[in-house]
Amino acid sequence: MTGGKRRQQVYTLLVEVGRSPGDGLPDGATGAALMCYASGVDEPEAVRETVAILKQADLAPLDVTGYGTLEDRLAEGDEIAEDERALMRRALAENSVIVAQMTPFFD
């Protein structure tokens, strides 16, 4: 077994959020879906970091679906646009969570 830190990777996560005071979602929205790119040594760490950051932003995470790393998604046959790849590189470089897209839900 080798020592040292495991390599950070970027995971694509779809987070469903509900409403909470101060969440900044549009009036009348019942929640939203957030496409996020999150850095972590594994997907569970990326999910934990993402949920913690969204809670700090007064959002109410309800469910997280992981789509894996860039390599995982390419192996699944996903086409990844250059702008999406750039956001992934930024998340890795900054060791951060990037919210790439927010889609509000309305009843």
**How many CA atoms, within 13 angstroms, populate the side-chain half-sphere of residue 58?**
6
Asked whether the predicted pLDDT for residue 4 surpasses 80, the reply is no
Helix, strand, coil share (%) of the chain residues, nearest 5: 30, 35, 35
Sign of CA dihedral 104, 39, 77, 86: positive
Residue with tokens 């495991």: 6
Q: For position 1, what pLDDT does the model report?
A: 47
Q: Which of 58, 18, 63 is nearest to 36 (CA)?
A: 63
Q: For position 6, what pLDDT does the model report?
A: 78
Query: Which stretch of DSSP H or E encloses residue 43?
Result: helix 43-56
Domain spans in the chain, listed from the N-terminal domain onward = 9-105
Residue with tokens 């590189």: 89
pLDDT digits (tens, 9 = 90+) for 86-104: 999 999 999 999 999 999 9
Asked whether the predicted pLDDT for residue 2 surpasses 70, the reply is no
pLDDT digits (tens, 9 = 90+) for 23-72: 999 999 999 999 999 999 999 999 999 999 999 999 999 999 999 999 99
Task: Say what the pTM is.
Answer: 0.90
